[in-house]
Every structure is written in C-alpha cells, then in structure tokens.
Structure 1
Amino acid sequence: MKKIAYFLSMLMFLTAVAPAAMAKNGSADKEPSPEEKARLEQLDERVQEIKAMDFRAMDKEERKEIRNELRDINKEAKEIGGGVYISVGALIVILILLVILT
C-alpha cells in the first residue's frame, strides 16, 4: 500500500511541476532586472490611468483601442514577470492525497 501511495504522490508531483518545466522562459525564479522593474512600474501607472478614465464618454472605437492596449500590457507584464504554474486538477489531487495519507 505504501508503494502505491508513494508512486501516486510522485506522479501527481511530476504532473504539477511539468507546466513550469515546459515554460518558454528558461528560469522562472529569475529576479527582474532594474530596467524590467521600471517598465513594470510604467505599465502599472498606465493601467491606473486607464482605470480612472470615464468610458461612458468614449465612443466604441476608443474603447476598443483601450481594450487592446490593456491586453498588450497584460502580455508584456506576463513575459517580464514569469512565474510558476500549477494546474487546478493537479492541486486537487495533491490535496486529496495529503488528506488520505495523513
């Protein structure tokens, strides 16, 4: 029984870690450089400016441009920030195994 539990826990662990191993960025735990931090601050300031805007006064085309700009900002921030990802299914299975094995 212990061998099966050990095997299943290792399988779930590897399933949870696989998305991070296959990420585009080589190292997800790398600290952003000062230039990247400055760029993230600029992006954050722009997002705050957009949040403060009155969208009711804009026409449809302006709102569409703002929406596209926000998508681009989000993509750029994700590229700079990096991160470790774990799937929801793997997280649930790990929690269930922890409850069963304790």
Structure 2
Amino acid sequence: MKKITFCLMMACLSLTFNPNELKANPDSLKTVQNSSEAKALLSRLETFKAMDKSDLSWKEKRELRKEVKSIDQQLRAIGGGIYISVGALLIIIILLIIFL
C-alpha cells in the first residue's frame, strides 16, 4: 500500500513540472529595483561588457573579474528576495503532506 501511494505521489509530482518553464531568465539583472545605486551599478557592468579586453594584461583582467563579482553581489543585496530551490520546495511539500 505504501509503495502504491508513493508511486502515485511521485507520478503526480513529475507531471507538475514543465521543463520549458525552468529556463533561466536572461533578463534577471533588469529586474533589480530601479534605485539610483542599482542604475549606476548596471551602467558600470554595461561598460565592462562593451570594453575591449584583448589588450588588457592578466592582472587587469583579474581585477576586472573581481570588480564584476562585487557589483553582482551588491546588486543581489539591493534586489533582496528569498530564493527556494526546487528540492527544498519538494521537501517542504512532502513534509506538509505527512504532518497534515
């Protein structure tokens, strides 16, 4: 009996996920709040993307990568929000089903 309910539960859960909807959003940086600080950081990132990096030395490239990482961290801090992975969401749902 337990195997049947487990199999039915897994079948229902497998049908609820659509792989087309799980694609990463390429415009995730554009959804950051429209504060002046965020706009300044985004414009700084755009200048880095437009920059010709072929004539930079490896030290300059490393510093550029570090600065891009720090800007990304600042943008994530400004954006805020709570992100729950799919696995954590499944565990929460299963625990709710078991305890309720």
User: What is the match of residue 47 of structure 1?
Assistant: 45
Give structure 1 stretches of 5+ with no counterpart.
Answer: 6-31, 96-102
How far apart, in 1, do the equivalents of 2:33 and 2:53 lie? 35
Deviation string, structure 1 residues 22-66 (Cα, Å, up to 9, x no partner): xxxxxxxxxx987xx100000000000000011111110110110
TM-score (norm 1): 0.53
Which residue number in structure 2 is paired with residue 63 of structure 1? 61
Q: TM-score, normalised by structure 2?
A: 0.54
Aligned residues, how many? 64
Structure 1 ranges of 4+ moved more than 6 A = none
Identity of aligned residues (%): 37
Q: Any gaps of 5 or more consecutive residues in structure 2?
A: 6-31, 94-100
- State the superposition RMSD in angstroms: 2.9
State the 1:92 CA deviation: 5.2
Q: CA deviation at 1:70?
A: 0.4
* Cα distance, 1:90 vs structure 2: 3.1
- Asked if the contact 2:33–2:78 (Cα under 8 Å) also holds between the matched residues in 1, the reply is no
Q: Larger relative CO (CA 8 A, sep 6+): 1 or 2?
A: 1
